[in-house]
Amino acid sequence: MKMRDMTELAVRNLRESLLRNSLTTLGIGVGVASLVAMLSIGVGLQTLASRQLARSGLFNAIFVTPTAREPRFGRPRTGLQPVDESAHPLNADVKAQIAKLPNVTDVYSDVRLTLEVRYEGTSHMTSVAGLPESARGDGAFDGMKGSFFSSAKTDEAILQMEFAKQLSPQPESLIGKDVTIRFMSREPLPATSGGAGGAAGAPARKSAAGDAATGAGSGSGSGDEGGFSVVPHEKQIKVVGIVDADPSAGFGAFGRERVFLPLETAEEVQAAQVNDIQALLRGNPGERRYGSLTVRVKSPEDVAAVEASIKTMGFGTFSLLDASQNLQQVFRVFDSLMGIFGSLALVVASLGVINTLVMAILERRREIGVLKALGASDRDVRRLFFVEAGAMGLLGGVLGLAMGWAIGQAITFATNVYLRSHQIPPAKVTAVPLWLAAIAILFGVLVSLAAGIYPASRAARLNPVEALRYE
Amino acid sequence: MRDGVAIRTDGVMRHYAMGQAMVRAVDGVSIEVKNGEFVALLGSSGSGKSTLLNLMAGLDRPTGGAIFAHDRNLAEMNSEELARHRSHTIGIVFQAFNLLPRMTLEENVELPLRLAEVDRGERASRVHEALERVRLGGRLAHRPTELSGGEQQRGALARALVNRPTILLADEPTGNLDSATGDEIMKLLREINESLGMTIVMVTHERPRAEAFADRLLMMKDGKLDGVAAGNGGRGGAGGNDGAAALRP
């Protein structure tokens, strides 16, 4: 028999015992619904956690340090050649090279400074961090007042709320206002050293420190003729935003930075500052070197490959990849458990399918006999019952998907009512992605077909002579 | 085909166990039914006539001997081939009509065409043709319960004919009908036999009717052939009682 005729007959049969078949279909629906609801919680929580983790910047970041002094194999070392630290400097070239690796979204250095911030006559010493452009999407800026930096290199600042409160009792009024930052910059000293600092009003104490530094500079053999002096600078910075939480700029971000500048602005200020002793001692003062770099990749899955590439370039790396993998494993186990609990109801539903179809055989014994007498083969009869089981499964699957989705929505709603009552921002704790929808319907059909195996083969084996004699 | 043999059984047997006892429902029967012949299988209840008909229909399998339909041995067919035999070679009517109660008359008659995978476009005309032949053209949309016994049996006859079989098997077709309606059905069978050249094997226990309408009577007793007689072939009167009396041994 052709599939279309088979389906017509099956649907006709299903409509005949409407109540019983509807209840069976509802049973499958409830089974699928419980599966969908359970898995949607698993998927929802996982999505939620993954997104939060990705936004925390911890799981898609790689921390790069200059190479450790590892002995090199395959290249005989001559005693005269010392281990050359400068063979693997973290300089701008390297930074550009890493930025070109596939799936790398951003490479930046960690810039942390201590500066003096002045506002309306009062002055505060505070820690300052540079924020890369990629921090724009961080969760920390979700509740930010004002806006993110207009560009990567602009004289704008984002203040941390606690610090903003120190500056003004109405912290929000600071947005759009200018603050002054003061910092010391290094300037080459003319050959005839004198009171160069005097013009800028630098205290004599600082100049003395500068002289001491000059001595160290000469000792490194950089070839600089003279030394340099330290000159105080001021810069007007416009406050564009105030943020509650402490935005993370990478691994080292656990400090309590109070003021955030665009990364390039911060770098500029840092280059001018004298706090980098290493830079002072290093040879070529024109070359910018980084103590460490933070590399952001598209997603946590890309970490391993990028990390390996950077290692082959000769640098030390560190990431929280393992932690993220463990987390995924935990969720996989969680999903499986949810799936098993959800499937239990489906198993019960499959018993309903078996029961309904076995009942149908008893009721339709005579009909099966007639069909066979009119030319139906065993296969036709078997397929007819399969189509009936499959149709109930398909309907039940669609119904169950709708119910499961509704249950998920209800759970999300109830959770959010609870979260809001505790002043926690609402979250989407359930999700029914397309693959889950497809699997739910497929599962409904497959379970029903499996349940149909026994009744269908029993119907197919029915002896037509006995079936026709049956009254 | 008119001159050939439609059905031939060669020592066909159908034994089955019932508890400890072996029941020999059909026990070595050898008969021949020619193409276009109208044969009646007569016998009392339990004589094995219905079992023999089921063997010819391919609904049951012999436990011994052979049974040929147009020279093809049903005993050697697998279940798929037997299904094809039931679908294409034979048409069958029952005492209890066996129309499916949930379907309209038209759908019931269409059922064999569905099973034989006949094109949809062709089905309606085939169904109408078959129903016209049994003079039931106006009752297409009725359910079996809305039809009289005679109408139901005519509908069943249309269903048996719709796939244009060469052999019509009838198991007590008048058993559930009053005598006037039964005669109508017998006349219809005879008419189909003559106009279409249809081979008919009919099981009955009503000897007078068999004598009146069949060409040949095969008597069965205890699973064996118990005699052969010539029928009137529809040439006698409508009742057939007179002719039957003349031929009675």
Mean pLDDT of A120-132: 82
Q: Kindly tell me if the per-residue pLDDT of B1 is higher than 90.
A: no
Q: For helices B149-161 and B105-115, give the axis angle rounded to 10 degrees.
A: 20
Position with higher pLDDT, A43 vs A213: A43
Strand partners, B72: B69
- List the single residue in A367, A375, A468 with the smallest CB-CB distance to B100: A367
pLDDT at position B173: 95
- List the single residue in B103, B112, B117 with the smallest CB-CB distance to A374: B112
Residues of A in contact with B86 (CB under 8 A): 372-375
Confidence of residue A130 (pLDDT cuts 50, 70, 90): confident
Q: Specify whether the CB–CB gap between B204 and B231 falls below 8 A.
A: no
CB contact under 8 A, B115 and A2: no
Least confident of A195-199, A299-303, B66-70, B134-138: A195-199
CB contact under 8 A, B86 and A372: yes
Q: Specify whether the CB–CB gap between B10 and B181 falls below 8 A.
A: no
pLDDT at position B243: 40
CB contact under 8 A, A370 and B100: yes
Mean pLDDT of A80-90: 54
C-alpha distance from A349 to closest chain B C-alpha (Å) = 28
Residues of B in contact with A371 (CB under 8 A): 111, 115
pLDDT at position A87: 55
Residue B102, chain A, CB below 8 Å: the answer is yes
Please give the CATH topology (third level) of the domain spanning A60-72+84-108+291-319. Alpha-Beta Plaits (3.30.70)
C-alpha span between B105 and A99 (Å, rounded): 78
Residue B60, chain A, CB below 8 Å: the answer is yes
Rounded to two decimals, what is the model's pTM? 0.67
Q: Kindly tell me if the per-residue pLDDT of B113 is higher than 90.
A: yes
Q: What is the mean pLDDT of chain A?
A: 77
pLDDT in tens, A351-402: 888 888 888 888 888 999 999 999 999 999 999 999 999 999 999 999 999 9
Q: Kindly tell me if the per-residue pLDDT of A250 is higher than 60.
A: no
CA B90 remoteness from chain centre: 8
- List the single residue in B92, B94, B114 with the smallest CB-CB distance to A1: B114
C-alpha distance from A402 to closest chain B C-alpha (Å) = 32
Mean pLDDT of B142-149: 94
Residues of B in contact with A375 (CB under 8 A): 83-84, 86-88, 112, 115-116, 163
pLDDT at position B42: 95
Q: What percent of chain A has pLDDT over 90?
A: 17
CB contact under 8 A, B98 and A468: yes
- List the single residue in B59, B102, B115 with the smallest CB-CB distance to A12: B102
ipTM: 0.91
C-alpha distance from A366 to closest chain B C-alpha (Å) = 8
Least confident of A277-281, A409-413, B245-249: B245-249
Strand A259-262 and strand B21-29: the pairing is unpaired
pLDDT at position A74: 46
C-alpha distance from B169 to closest chain A C-alpha (Å) = 11
Residues of B in contact with A380 (CB under 8 A): 83, 115
Residue B45, chain A, CB below 8 Å: the answer is no
Residues of B in contact with A377 (CB under 8 A): 79-80, 83-84
Beta sheet of A316-319, edge-to-edge order: A104-109, A293-297, A61-65, A316-319
Residue B78, chain A, CB below 8 Å: the answer is no
Which residue of B93, B100, B122 to mutate against A (max A Cβ within 10 Å)?
B100
Number of Cβ pairs closer than 8 Å across A and B?
65
Q: What percent of chain A has pLDDT over 70?
A: 75
* Most trustworthy range by pLDDT among A214-218, A268-272, B13-17, B229-233: B13-17
pLDDT at position A359: 86
Of chain A, the end-to-end C-alpha distance in Å amounts to 27
CB contact under 8 A, B117 and A2: yes
Residue B116, chain A, CB below 8 Å: the answer is yes
pLDDT in tens, B155-193: 999 999 999 999 999 999 999 999 999 999 999 999 999
List every span in chain A annotated with CATH 3.30.70.
60-72+84-108+291-319
pLDDT in tens, A391-423: 999 999 999 999 999 999 999 999 999 888 887
Mean pLDDT of B98-119: 94
Residues of A in contact with B98 (CB under 8 A): 366, 369-370, 373, 468
Residues of A with CB under 8 A from a CB of B: 1-2, 5, 9, 12, 16, 366-367, 369-380, 463-465, 468
Confidence of residue A210 (pLDDT cuts 50, 70, 90): very low
Strand A112-119 and strand B199-204: the pairing is unpaired
pLDDT at position A62: 84
Position with higher pLDDT, B10 vs A254: B10
| Selection from B6, B13, B12, B14 nearest residue B67 by Cα | B12
Q: Indicate the CATH number of B35-61+78-247 among 3.40.50.720, 3.90.1150.10, 1.10.10.10, 3.40.50.300.
A: 3.40.50.300
pLDDT at position A78: 47
pLDDT in tens, A420-456: 888 777 888 888 899 999 999 998 999 999 999 999 9
For chain B, the residue count is: 249
Continuous segment of H or E residues that includes residue A2: none
Q: Both tokens of residue B32?
A: 């021949």
pLDDT at position A370: 95
Catalogue the long-range contacts made by A266-272 (C-beta closer than 8 Å, 24 or more residues apart): A266/A111, A266/A113, A266/A128, A266/A129, A266/A130, A266/A131, A267/A109, A267/A111, A267/A130, A268/A153, A269/A113, A269/A115, A269/A128, A269/A181, A269/A183, A269/A235, A270/A111, A270/A113, A270/A130, A272/A183, A272/A184, A272/A185, A272/A186, A272/A233
